Structure 1
Amino acid sequence: MEVNMDLLSIKDNVQKTAEAISSVIGVDVTVTDDKLVRIAGTGKYKLSIDEKVNDQGVFAYCLKNSIPYVVRNPKEEKVCKACNNKDCSEYAEIVSPITINTKTYGVIGLIAFDENQKNLLLKKEKNIIDFLDKMASLVASQIIEKKKSNEIKVLISQLQTVINVIEKSVIITDCSGRINYYNNKADNLFNIKLLNHENINEILLDIDVCEIFKSGKEIYNKEFNYEDNITSFRGIINAKIYFSDDNSNNIEAVVLIMEELRQIISSARNIISTNIVTEFKNIKYLSNKMDNVISLAKKASQTDSTVLITGESGTGKELFARALHYDSSRKKEAFLAINCSAIPENLFESELFGYEEGAYTGALKGGHPGKFELAHKGTLLLDEIGDMPLNLQPKLLRVLQDSKVMRIGGKGYIDVDVRIIASTNCNLEERVRNKEFREDLYYRLNVIPINIPPLRERTEDIELLARYFIHKFSCKLNKTVENINSDALSLIKNYQWNGNVRELENAIEYAVNMTDKASIDVDSLPYKFKNTKNKFIENNVKEHNVIEQNVLHTIDELERNELKKAIKLYGLANNAVNKICEELGISRATFYRKIKKYNLISNQILIND
């Protein structure tokens, strides 16, 4: 960074220096800059300040050659011959350049106007020259000092600009807590000017700045609370220590960097939010059933009431949840989803409600916000709500009723404004009857129920969806598949689609991958479509002969038999379990819970039966 300086910038100081020299030596003083403009003067030349001196005289010579010069006999000296001032009244002169490094910034000169002054200058000529050189160096040092001062001012201005641009509040204090500096963000956050805050203790009751000076320990990600008669909020603070430059290890200041907690949460949710914008027009359908469902969903999107979306696995429950969010007044806020069947029970509470620092072994420093805090002002989808641990259901109910959440290890409640959408592929009413789901929570969630029909009940949508997926995967896989022939189309229309739209999508992706033609045919489809009476369906028919013989069975018996058949057919390998869950329309968590309930493994039923 280069700051241009000249004698004009220290004009007042130069004039004071000139007057001091004149009073000590008893002769007049003139100082010119590098353009030969007189910027300081005493005696008769005081009235000529800001005028340009002769550009052919001794001042011009000294400026050009950067060396001292003594004029003992004006008008006779060689340097005076070119001067056009024929009425010169000077008796003698001594001039010296004002130089910094190799650059000459001006000239300082002593002028005698009578014999006594001339004798005074020339009698101690060498001493006078040395003295004048020191005075020139003094003036030069003033230029340097002014230049550094201006550079510091520029740096401070630049630093202030940078600090004011950042999205964090910055306050700098001394050892007593007195506020020495704060940026615009801090003023806006804490109303420092408006409330005339002078000490940090008036702002932060939870932070002892004096203790930081005493201990020398910085603060990292500490939570604080702030409240005045205008606003209140929770925030996170970091305190950085600034040491003095004299190697004494003395703490000069403490820099406090603060951020509002809701701003941190907003930034975090922008990163983790599943921000795939989905609108109702993105849902492909032709059937009247789906038209009715979407009509209901559009009405539900205009309220903040809780919605319960039910439907078999693969029907598109999350797609509907997204469309509800992006058709609502909350569409510009976060949409977050949590799968209640995929999170281990011991981690579920911290994921949903968050935790404070030190809440348990391994808790992150500064704590961690839960999904409710992250979804503040937005929408939270509780997917597979039927698999939510029973012991956590009362806490969820409390949050839904009070719109407040308490972190694990927390001491107070945090207000949250979240629109809740729950979804499940299980029968919650049956869960309630079996004491596996709280009745009060069920009714709190089931304010606006939306049931998505399975694909087999809306066969008129199958062709539209198939052609949509053909186009999608043809583009994605860089293929030229454009159609599906009548035989293949007839086959997929008559298939049961237990996995619904997800299964259809996977089947079409497979077919687009396998075909070398412009149109999908039967040979391109997965093997199960070529043999519609596959092993699973055949077993299904045999096992249900008892029902055709008018023999009634309990729900548990039917459920147990279906699980048994599926395990016999597919086994218990990881991929096999996924296939069983897809065919039966249940989650993995539900599958394992059911086989434990019916003792299908421990009692060797698979072998004995």
Structure 2
Amino acid sequence: MQKIIGIIASNLELKKRIEKLYYQDVKDKNIIIDIIDMDLLEEQGKMLVDKGAQVIIGRGGGYKLILDTVNVPVIPLNMKIIDLLKAIKEASSYSKKVVLILGYDEVDFDYDKWRGIIDVDISEEWFKSKYEIRNKVIKYIEKKDDVVIVGSGIACSFAKQYNMDNVFIDASDDSIKEAIEYSKNLLETVEKEKFDNEILRNILDGVKDGIIAIDNNGNILLYNDTAMKIMKVDKKDVSNRYILDVFPNMEWLLECLHTKKDSKRKIRHIYNSVVNTNAKLIKVDGHIYGAIGIIQDITKLQNLERKIRADLNKKGLYARYTFSDFMFKDKVTNEFIEEAKRIGRTDYTTLLYGESGAGKEILAQSMHNISKRKDKTFVAINCATISENLLESELFGYEEGAFTGAKKGGKPGLFELAHEGTLFLDEINSLPLNFQTKLLRVIEERQIMRIGSDHIIPLDIRIIAATNEFLTEKIRDNSFRADLFYRLSSLEINIPPLRERKEDIVPLFEHFVDKILKNSNIDDLNKVVKNSKLNKEDIDKLKAYNWPGNVRELKNIAQKYVVTGKIKLDYIINKFDYISIDRDYKDEYKNTELDYTNININMKEINSFVEQKIIDMLLNQGLSKTEVSQILGISRTALWKKCNKNI
């Protein structure tokens, strides 16, 4: 069977380029190309289908125009940033104001970030619907002598109608090849999948549900064991019988045939059972051969939902926390919470700053749960915990046979699992420099390719990143890419450490204690803890402490308090608060007068020295690196880096 790709080219030049790139396919009529006709905009997709096109490729507004008018797949000819920049450069030669007319989903272009590089006066006009394009052009008719329109085929065609200067954003050869090769691969499988998707998917994938299939006359063709248990009628009593003669209350399945439309899920009462039902047409090559009714027992459905939620929790794909989980009284906390709520409702990439244990992931989950993506997945990735050699396969996924040990059937990456949801990149500062380039490309293009695959997978994700270090300093020492930083930091939220939120310490501590007492299985907990509040000495002790581990450390102290009835901070305080550089050198400088005019203090070196002294002291006391990293409130990877930095 011949597989035909239809293309709507924006102009003659694009058509000729495609003919040159795919000469044999065009000659064999495996590719048919039409040029946009302004008088037939709404009909061109249908005309290509009438010529035999089984998939259609369109660009910009042309893609939007045919998307809802045909019943074959429509593939976008993607626009690249470099294509747009070339068009802007060409338009600048007109010495006029440049007007960009672009669809929101055509290209991810932020003029404000390019303003310092593009020395051109630009106005942006973005459209959502195909019907907005003409009006966007007409808006500038009175100023047509002072502007040049830059856009895709339809925008430029309208500009030509009104004698306005225009520059077409041409598609690169790579974009053309990408769209055509994707379409070819799609057509390779479409014939086989017609039957599988319309019948086997509804039957074999749904065998745990009750299934009743009927032909065009309403006679029962299929009736499985689950349906028999729900309907309480034996198989031998239903075969080839008219469905209403056996089940008078199943007229909804016949209605699907009469309307020639699949029915939506609906709760119904059948034989004293409450079930969830829906119906789907059986279609092959556009012809209707009957309908399938699917009946789901509500009890089983509820159990399945609980299992799905449990699986999502295990995989970390479910955001448990909301802003109501934040316990606070300090006005500093209130300020960043309100800022996070405003940003959370948007879809912009956001960068969170905060020390380890300050609550960055809880804040990210809360922002997800206030956004339009709240019902979708939340995928959290700790960049510091994945070894460099596994990063690409874990984040991007891989195909079967991509490398030795690859799972049968391949594996989706974490980016792919976050599709339509939120991706949280924690400790982004720990990413290896060579991987940052790949991450930047994914963030900009919003698409990935699995290892061992030649298929592009488009992504619709909101990205929230977090760091416990200032990335500007890492940029200066060449350990973090500046372009990745600017792409991530369109919006920033700083989470102050707990020591700067003094009014939050006691309420948080009491909250953790109450929660531990309610959830604990220990029968003989300290009665003092159960029946009394903190005294002034305890409160002063909590507020005076520096909390290097932030909220995470506070929770640990609350756990110890529940068990012992005492707030034990002395062990940790002795390790930090009483360390003094002066103590190491007091004998040497005891009677020495300092010449203050010649003193040159390097705070960075002092901080590094003190930090190393603390680490050495804890390790020398027999603590493991895991215990030291927990005490300091940093990851084990960060501790390893600090130790090796001073070797």
TM interval, short-chain normalised: 0.5 to 0.7
Q: Which of 412, 428, 442 is 1:385 aligned to?
A: 428
1:426 aligns with 2:508: no
Instruction: Report which stretch shifted further, 331-340 or 543-552.
Output: 543-552
Given that residues 313 and 582 in structure 1 are in contact (C-alpha distance below 8 angstroms), is that contact kept between their aligned partners in structure 2?
A: no
- Between the aligned partners of 2:542 and 2:311, the Cα distance in structure 1 is 43
Tell me which residue corresponds to 1:566: 614
Tell me which residue corresponds to 1:363: 406
Q: Which one-letter code corresponds to 1:570 in the other structure?
A: L
Matches within 5 A, 1:332-351: 332-351=375-394
1:298 aligns with 2:389: no
Q: Give the Å deviation of 1:588.
A: 1.9
Runs of 5+ consecutive residues of structure 2 not aligned to the other structure: 1-218, 232-261, 264-277, 290-307
Tell me which residue corresponds to 2:106: none
| Displaced runs of 4 or more, over 6 A | 187-191, 265-268, 543-550
Given that residues 396 and 414 in structure 2 are in contact (C-alpha distance below 8 angstroms), is that contact kept between their aligned partners in structure 1?
A: yes
Q: Give the Å deviation of 1:544.
A: 9.8
- Between the aligned partners of 2:567 and 2:614, the Cα distance in structure 1 is 23
Q: Give the Å deviation of 1:435.
A: 0.7
1:192 aligns with 2:283: yes
Structure 1 residues 281, 393: CA separation in 2 closer, same or farther (over 3 Å shift)? same
1:470 aligns with 2:513: yes
Given that residues 425 and 585 in structure 1 are in contact (C-alpha distance below 8 angstroms), is that contact kept between their aligned partners in structure 2?
A: no
Matches within 5 A, 1:155-234: 156-158=222-224, 192-193=283-284, 195-196=286-287
1:372 aligns with 2:415: yes
Tell me which residue corresponds to 1:526: 568
Structure 1 residues 419, 552: CA separation in 2 closer, same or farther (over 3 Å shift)? farther
Q: Give the Å deviation of 1:554.
A: 4.3
Given that residues 357 and 363 in structure 1 are in contact (C-alpha distance below 8 angstroms), is that contact kept between their aligned partners in structure 2?
A: yes
Structure 1 residues 456, 512: CA separation in 2 closer, same or farther (over 3 Å shift)? same
Q: Which of 547, 556, 578 is 2:626 aligned to?
A: 578
Tell me which residue corresponds to 1:508: 558
Equivalent residue of 1:539, what SS? Answer: coil
Given that residues 270 and 334 in structure 1 are in contact (C-alpha distance below 8 angstroms), is that contact kept between their aligned partners in structure 2?
A: no
How big is each residue's C-alpha offset from its partner over 1:495-521, in whole Å with a ceiling of 9 and x where there is no partner?
111111111111111011112xxxxxx
Equivalent residue of 1:363, what SS? Answer: coil
- Between the aligned partners of 1:315 and 1:307, the Cα distance in structure 2 is 17
- Between the aligned partners of 1:585 and 1:542, the Cα distance in structure 2 is 25
How big is each residue's C-alpha offset from its partner over 1:393-438, in whole Å with a ceiling of 9 and x where there is no partner?
1111111111101111110210111111111111211111111111
1:494 aligns with 2:534: no
- Between the aligned partners of 2:225 and 2:622, the Cα distance in structure 1 is 58
Tell me which residue corresponds to 1:592: 640
How big is each residue's C-alpha offset from its partner over 1:575-598, in whole Å with a ceiling of 9 and x where there is no partner?
542344345553221222232233
CA RMSD across the alignment: 3.6
Q: Which one-letter code corresponds to 1:567 in the other structure?
A: I
1:538 aligns with 2:588: no
Structure 1 residues 461, 367: CA separation in 2 closer, same or farther (over 3 Å shift)? same
Given that residues 382 and 425 in structure 2 are in contact (C-alpha distance below 8 angstroms), is that contact kept between their aligned partners in structure 1?
A: yes
Q: Which one-letter code corresponds to 1:455 in the other structure?
A: L
Tell me which residue corresponds to 2:358: 315
- Between the aligned partners of 1:401 and 1:544, the Cα distance in structure 2 is 52
Given that residues 319 and 369 in structure 2 are in contact (C-alpha distance below 8 angstroms), is that contact kept between their aligned partners in structure 1?
A: no
Structure 1 residues 453, 538: CA separation in 2 closer, same or farther (over 3 Å shift)? same
Given that residues 354 and 496 in structure 2 are in contact (C-alpha distance below 8 angstroms), is that contact kept between their aligned partners in structure 1?
A: yes
Q: What fraction of aligned residue pairs are identical, expressed as a percent? A: 39
Q: Which of 479, 498, 501 is 1:455 aligned to?
A: 498
Given that residues 549 and 634 in structure 2 are in contact (C-alpha distance below 8 angstroms), is that contact kept between their aligned partners in structure 1?
A: no
Q: Which one-letter code corresponds to 1:195 in the other structure?
A: G
- Between the aligned partners of 2:220 and 2:288, the Cα distance in structure 1 is 27
- Between the aligned partners of 2:500 and 2:413, the Cα distance in structure 1 is 39
Tell me which residue corresponds to 2:81: none
Matches within 5 A, 1:98-137: none
Equivalent residue of 1:538, what SS? Answer: coil
Structure 1 residues 269, 464: CA separation in 2 closer, same or farther (over 3 Å shift)? closer
State the TM-score, normalizing by the size of structure 2. 0.49
Q: Which one-letter code corresponds to 1:597 in the other structure?
A: K
- Between the aligned partners of 1:333 and 1:548, the Cα distance in structure 2 is 64
- Between the aligned partners of 1:154 and 1:270, the Cα distance in structure 2 is 41
How big is each residue's C-alpha offset from its partner over 1:11-60, in whole Å with a ceiling of 9 and x where there is no partner?
xxxxxxxxxxxxxxxxxxxxxxxxxxxxxxxxxxxxxxxxxxxxxxxxxx
Q: Which one-letter code corresponds to 1:437 in the other structure?
A: F
- Between the aligned partners of 2:284 and 2:431, the Cα distance in structure 1 is 50
Runs of 5+ consecutive residues of structure 1 not aligned to the other structure: 1-152, 166-183, 199-264, 516-523, 600-609
Q: Give the Å deviation of 1:300.
A: 0.6
Q: Which one-letter code corresponds to 2:551 in the other structure?
A: V
Structure 1 residues 538, 296: CA separation in 2 closer, same or farther (over 3 Å shift)? same
How big is each residue's C-alpha offset from its partner over 1:246-265, in whole Å with a ceiling of 9 and x where there is no partner?
xxxxxxxxxxxxxxxxxxx9
Aligned residues: 352
Larger Rg belongs to: 1
Structure 1 residues 363, 398: CA separation in 2 closer, same or farther (over 3 Å shift)? same
Q: Give the Å deviation of 1:567.
A: 2.9
1:412 aligns with 2:455: yes
Structure 1 residues 349, 527: CA separation in 2 closer, same or farther (over 3 Å shift)? same
Structure 1 residues 548, 492: CA separation in 2 closer, same or farther (over 3 Å shift)? farther
